[in-house]
Structure formats: structure tokens, C-alpha cells
């Protein structure tokens, strides 16, 4: 019997998900190879990356998934630092005033990008996507890679009637060429999605590698799935696990789960059950139903009462999130009335805390 899980990579309005299957044991989930370039993958609705990327984390947003990231202030320019410093402190009106002055007097692209950020996210001013697009456009023309990325995401999402997908692709390509990993990641999604661009998994893999090498955790996780299945790259479990480890260290929850499974099974890495359980606990506390289910399976079969009760607790929590498990249902049914009560109370306490 197999459980299905979905791997989600979301970029603003771009949503791609590949179905992955995992054995009921702690076998690592796999990813189905996308269909040939001549056909389009069937997108599936899935919970947000991440960080996905929304173009904001999933994943990332992450974050590749933010529709607009704050401008990177030039460290040698004290005036630019004042703009960004005000933004970081949440003094958005001050940031708006300072950025407006610098944009008008100095034609500063970083200040223009900041104005786009403020208008796009209603920070210190009324939300106005048209004005945001105008400032992003002006900054893009002056070579600002963050503005190119933000404008591309606005146009892909068609907010403020600025949707021009072909131009968005060019902006992403230009931003990626200038070294923006978020742009490379989102462009990779478009090549994988096969709707805005012809599907090209090899090109997608190349762009994911660029973003992954730059430290983007969503790209590292996505590329790991490519290596696991040999999608657009030569199959390599060792490379997949190294990428999962890097993404897990950057707090990508999906990567934490899959890397934990690899550690538990000793797949592509030395077996380390203690480290695997620690990672599953971390991901479980971040509300990953997959992690909660896997952790429950590990702990509920132990002879130690505390571990067994914790396992039953996580089973109840995971089941509440739609991750049922017949084997764990049977273990819960076989528990003593006292154990059932304790597990249910612990699950209720956890759910009450997370839902506040």
C-alpha cells in the first residue's frame, strides 16, 4: 500500500506539483517524471512552498516566492542605507519619503525598486499595482535585477492589468542572467510547467542548478527530486541527498522530511536514526502532516511508554490534517484507555496551541 504526497513548487501564479509516492514504511517518496516536452503536465492544487515559493515563501515564500523583495541598499551609500534602514524598522512612510526624494533627484534604481515594493504591498502608502509596476519598470531599465524580478512576478500574476507573460519571461531571464537566484528558480518553474514556455525539463534543471548553487533552498529541494528520478539530469541519489541536506539546513520543511527519511533508511547517506528523528520532530512542529505521520510510525512501535504516547499523539494530529494511517489506527485501538486519553489530550493541547 502506498501513500501519496505532493511536492509543490509555487511561484506567484505559477503552480507546478509533481505527485510523489512513499511506502508506508520510511521509504523516501519518489517523484514521477514529467511528461515529454510535447505535452503539458497536469498541474495539481497543492498547499503553499514555499516556500514555496508564493513567489513568496515556498516554498518558497523564501524566498523565491515573494512578489516583491525589498531593494538591496548599496552599503557605500549612507542615504540609501537610510531608506533601507527605515524599511527594516517598519518605518514605511519614512522609507517612502526618502526613496521618493532619491528616485526623483538621483534617478537611483534601488530607491525606485523600494517605491515599487511599498506600492505593491501597501506599506506606508495605498496599494497601487500600476504605480508599483511603473517604478519597477524604471528601475529595471536602469539594470536593477530585483526590480526585474518583482515586475516579472507582477506581470505573471496579472495584478493591476499589467499582465504580459512574454515580457515577464524576458524580465526573469534578464534578472537571472544578472545573478538573481529567485529569478532563475521561477524561470525554471515556467520551463517545467510547459504553459507559458514550451516544456523543457533539461533547461529547467539547468536553471534550478544555478539557483541551488546560489543557496536557494526551494531550488535545492526541487533539483533533489530531479536527481532522485533522473528528470532532466542523470539519476544520482547521492547528489539528491546532498541537496536535500542543504535545503533542510536552510529550514525547507519538505527537505527536512525527505532528508530525515534518507537518514533513517541510510539511503545515499550513512544511517542515523537519532538525527532522522530529530529532523522529523522539527518538521512535525512546523505542521508537516507527512513528518507527523512518519514520526508517529517510528515512535508508536517503540516499547518505551513516553515514545509510544508521543507517537500516538502525532498520529492523531496528522490524521486531523488528513494524513490517516490504518496501521496507527490499529495501534491506537490496542492502547489502554489511559494511554488513549493521554495521547488524545496531548494532541488536543498541540492542536489548540497551533490554532490560536
Q: Which of 283, 315, 340 is the last residue of a domain?
A: 283
Question: How far, in Å, are 188, 238, 296, 312, 355 from residue 329 at the CA level?
Answer: 41, 35, 11, 9, 24
CA distance 72 to 229: 37
Q: Which of 283, 302, 334 is the last residue of a domain?
A: 283
Residues 295, 267 within the same domain: no
Residue 312 counted as domain residue? yes
Q: Which of 250, 283, 316 is the last residue of a domain?
A: 283
CA distance 152 to 145: 11
CA distance 123 to 126: 7
Residue 336 counted as domain residue? yes
Residues 215, 325 within the same domain: no
Residue that is written with C-alpha cell 489511559 in the block? 338
pLDDT per residue of the chain (356 residues) written in tens, 0 to 9? 332 233 333 333 333 333 332 222 233 333 333 333 333 333 333 323 333 333 333 333 333 333 334 444 434 455 557 998 999 999 999 999 999 999 999 999 999 999 999 999 999 999 999 999 999 999 999 999 999 999 999 998 875 444 588 899 999 999 999 999 999 999 999 999 998 899 999 999 999 999 999 999 999 999 999 999 999 999 999 999 999 999 999 999 999 999 999 999 999 999 999 999 999 999 999 999 999 999 999 999 998 999 999 999 999 999 999 999 999 999 999 999 999 999 999 999 999 876 55
> Domain range spanning residue 296?
287-354
Q: Which CATH number characterizes residue 153's domain?
A: 1.25.40.10
CA distance 63 to 251: 12
Residue 152 counted as domain residue? yes
Residues 60, 39 within the same domain: yes
Residues 181, 32 within the same domain: yes
Residues 278, 322 within the same domain: no
In the chain, the number of structural domains is 2
Amino acid at each position: 500500500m502506498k501513500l501519496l504526497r505532493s511536492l509543490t513548487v509555487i511561484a506567484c501564479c505559477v503552480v507546478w506539483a509533481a505527485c510523489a509516492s512513499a511506502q508506508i514504511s520510511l521509504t523516501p517518496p519518489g517523484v514521477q517524471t514529467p511528461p515529454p516536452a510535447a505535452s503539458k503536465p497536469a498541474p495539481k492544487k497543492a498547499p503553499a512552498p514555499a516556500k514555496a515559493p508564493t513567489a513568496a515563501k515556498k516554498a518558497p515564500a523564501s524566498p523565491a516566492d515573494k512578489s516583491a523583495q525589498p531593494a538591496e541598499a548599496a552599503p557605500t551609500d549612507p542615504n540609501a542605507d537610510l531608506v533601507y534602514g527605515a524599511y527594516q524598522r517598519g518605518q514605511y512612510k519614512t522609507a517612502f519619503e526618502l526613496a521618493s526624494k532619491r528616485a526623483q533627484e538621483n534617478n537611483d534604481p534601488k530607491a525606485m525598486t523600494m517605491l515599487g515594493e511599498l506600492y505593491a504591498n501597501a506599506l506606508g502608502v495605498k496599494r497601487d499595482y500600476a504605480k508599483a509596476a511603473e517604478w519597477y519598470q524604471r528601475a529595471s531599465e536602469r539594470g536593477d535585477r530585483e526590480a526585474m524580478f518583482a515586475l516579472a512576478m507582477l506581470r505573471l500574476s496579472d495584478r493591476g492589468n499589467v499582465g504580459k507573460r512574454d515580457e515577464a519571461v524576458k524580465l526573469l531571464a534578464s534578472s537571472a542572467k544578472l545573478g538573481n537566484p529567485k529569478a532563475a528558480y521561477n524561470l525554471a518553474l515556467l520551463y517545467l510547467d510547459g504553459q507559458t514556455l514550451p516544456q523543457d525539463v533539461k533547461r529547467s534543471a539547468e536553471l534550478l542548478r544555478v539557483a541551488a548553487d546560489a543557496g536557494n533552498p526551494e531550488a535545492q529541494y526541487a533539483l533533489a527530486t530531479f536527481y532522485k528520478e533522473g528528470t532532466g539530469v542523470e539519476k544520482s541519489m547521492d547528489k539528491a541527498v546532498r541537496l536535500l541536506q542543504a535545503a533542510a539546513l536552510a529550514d525547507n520543511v519538505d527537505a527536512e522530511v525527505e532528508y530525515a527519511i534518507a537518514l533513517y533508511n541510510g539511503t545515499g547517506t550513512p544511517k542515523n536514526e537519532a538525527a532522522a528523528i530529530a529532523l522529523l520532530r522539527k518538521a512535525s512542529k512546523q505542521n508537516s502532516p507527512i513528518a507527523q505521520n512518519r514520526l508517529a510510525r517510528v515512535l508508536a512501535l517503540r516499547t518505551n511508554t513516553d515514545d509510544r504516547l508521543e507517537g500516538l499523539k502525532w498520529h492523531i494530529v496528522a490524521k486531523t490534517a488528513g494524513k490517516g494511517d490504518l496501521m496507527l489506527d490499529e495501534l491506537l485501538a490496542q492502547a489502554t484507555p489511559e494511554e488513549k486519553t493521554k495521547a488524545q489530550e496531548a494532541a488536543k493541547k498541540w492542536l489548540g496551541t497551533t490554532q490560536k
